[in-house]
Amino acid sequence: MLDWSLILAAASGLILFLYGMEQFSREIQKVAGESFRAFLKKATKSTARSVVLGGLVTALVQSSTAVTVITLGLVDSGLISFMQSLGVILGAGIGTTITAQLVAIKFTALGPVFIPLGFLLGIFGGRFSFLGKPLFFFGLVFFGIGMVSDAALPLRDDPAVTSYLANLDSVPLAILIGFILTNLFQSSSVFTGLVVVLAGSGVLTVEHAIPLVLGSNIGTITPLIASFNMGLFSRRTAAAQLLFNIGGVLIILPFLNLFSSAIIDLGGTSAQQAANAHTLFNVITTAIFLLFLGPISRLIENLIPGKEEEILFQTVALGDALPEDDAQAFSVIETELRNLLEKTENVLNESAAMLPTPSKSAFARLLKREELNDYLDEKIERAVIDISQRKLGQKEASRAVLIVRISNALEQLADLGTSIGYIANSMENRNQRMSDEALGELEDIHIRLEEDIRLLRNNFPRISEADIGSMRQNEVFIRERINLAYSNHLRRLYRRKVSVNNAFVKAMSRMESAHAKLREVRKLCEMYGRP
């Protein structure tokens, strides 16, 4: 006979567990705010640090899915690289095992303590009241799982349950059930916590629990779905997570009996053994994958092919602090300024390439490049502010001001390039296209602008007399070509008797403004190079 009171108690406990876990994760992320993402970005400078970070953050948030999705966002926005993300994901697998361990050591008994503590802290906690909700939902997680545990105790002697669990002797079936239920609950922490409870209640044997835990470790497919509308490197990160999870299970499967024996030999209660299986699995597979991270990353690149450049919001020279020596400090800032010139050139090139062949992916990449320019301009300005706090001579103070002016001019030049991308994107949305003649005239101007940038690169941020002369000659030629292009456009309009094509006029106007901005940069470089 079914005991409906036990079933309802178990269902209620499970609902509280699921709700508590979801809300706890959400509240922790809310409390952390942007500093949470900034911390993830800062602490991923090496693979080892990334693994530790992924483990610690997931242990705190108790959702490897949430950490993975946040990591996808960081990769997509260029804050961390694809390679840096791999360590975070591997660490997240280890961090997610903490719930199972807490359940195994009967931490559920403290659930009723944290619930009123969080409630009272939220009302009377003063400046610590922001911790009230996270503590409340933390307690709710373990209160709910405690209800499930109490309700499960009578099931261990139920013949119907015993008969059903006999089917779990099929390891592939048990792994499949673990995977399906993990995706149903949208949390491996929730499902493994439930497995630990059932093992502790005697409903599941350790031999039955371990394949279920393996299936749970394949994880949810949420990150993979979340990556569909993201860039190439975010999709690779999501694929890497799935590869790690499935690959880990495939690595352990041939040694399942040995693995199970090792877990049993470690001792502890059945609940602790199930929790240990979850932890040990993730530690072993993480160690193996770390040894072969290079080949694995190349495999993922082949599985998710693409030639897209990874755009990272990172400086090439500026760090947390400038060198003490003023000359070295200026040299570092100049190096970053050259990097900004290179990134500005990329924006102009990609925007010009969009005019004949616009695409959504190219436009998204262009917007990211423009944001990178803003980021570098801001970093350069901050560095100049820092060096300006020192006792500088008149010459050095003048150099500092000119650096800011050059940096701002380059940032504005990138904005002009991006506006050309907006024009191309608008044309694609309206299913419009310029004539080959019009595109040829725009390409001709772009080639001349490219020549100016090439001349600037030679001694940037200084400029030689020879390059000044070449740029001046080029400027005269560009002005003539722009005027000719406008005249040709008017003739085309008259000859074809069509309405004014604003796209060409707008694009040529942006090219004209870019030409003026490059002339401004050239003049600033002249001033910068004067003794």
For 96-123, write each residue's pLDDT tens digit. Answer: 887 777 766 565 556 677 778 777 877 7
What is the rounded average pLDDT of the residues 28-55?
68
Residue 317 counted as domain residue: no
Q: Are residues 389 and 342 in the same domain?
A: yes
**Tens digit of pLDDT for each residue in 477-528?**
999 999 998 888 888 777 764 555 588 889 999 999 999 999 999 999 999 9
CATH number of the domain encompassing residue 521: 1.20.58.220
218: pLDDT strictly greater than 60: yes
Q: Is residue 183 part of a domain?
A: yes
**Do 330 and 298 fall within a single domain?**
no
pTM for the whole structure: 0.73
295 lies in the same domain as 437: no
What confidence tier does 348 reach under pLDDT thresholds 50, 70, 90?
A: very high
d(CA 478, CA 455): 15
Task: Tell me the pLDDT band of 141, cut-offs 50, 70 and 90.
Answer: low
Q: Do residue 208 and residue 68 come from a single domain?
A: yes
Cα dihedral 41/47/48/54 (nearest 10): 50
Q: What is the predicted pLDDT for the residue at 513?
A: 94
Does some domain include residue 421?
Answer: yes
Query: How far apart are alpha carbons 283 and 4 in whole angstroms?
Result: 40
Q: What is the pLDDT of residues 371-389, one digit of tens each?
A: 899 989 999 999 999 998 8
Question: Same structural domain for residues 362 and 217?
Answer: no
The region of weakest confidence among 67-81, 164-178, 282-296 is 164-178
Same domain, residue pair 285 and 334: no
Residues 292 and 362 in one domain: no
pLDDT band at 70 (very low <50, low <70, confident <90, very high): confident
- Domain of 238 in residue numbering reads as 4-303
The mean pLDDT value for 348-373 works out to 90
Question: Is residue 312 one of the residues assigned to a domain?
Answer: no
Q: Are 89 and 128 in contact (CB under 8 A)?
A: no
Count Cα atoms within 13 angstroms, Cβ side, for 399: 20
Domain assignment of residue 310, yes or no: no
Where is the domain boundary, 303, 335, 359? 303
Whether 339 and 413 share a structural domain: yes
Residue 319 lies in a domain: no
Residues 173 and 279 in one domain: yes
Structure-block tokens of residue 9 = 């108690």
Does residue 103 sit in the same domain as residue 136? yes
Spell out a b/e string for 256-273, using b for 16 or more CB atoms within 10 Å of the CB, else e.
eeebbeebbeeeeebbbb
pLDDT band at 269 (very low <50, low <70, confident <90, very high): confident
Question: With bands split at pLDDT 50, 70 and 90, how would you rate the model's confidence at 452?
Answer: very high
Domain count, the chain: 2
pLDDT score, position 47: 81
Phi-psi region of 431 (alpha: psi -120 to 50; beta: other; left: phi over 0): left
Q: Which of 145-154, 303-312, 317-326, 335-344 is least confident? A: 145-154
> Do the domain assignments include residue 220?
yes
Exposed e or buried b per residue across 172-201, where buried means at least 16 C-beta atoms within 10 angstroms of its C-beta:
eebbebbbebbbebbbbbbbbbbbbbbbbb
| Residue 1: per-residue pLDDT | 47
**Residue 426: pLDDT over 70:** yes
Tell me: do 249 and 336 sit in the same domain: no
Give domain status of residue 407, yes or no. yes
Query: Does 400 lie in the same domain as 290?
Result: no
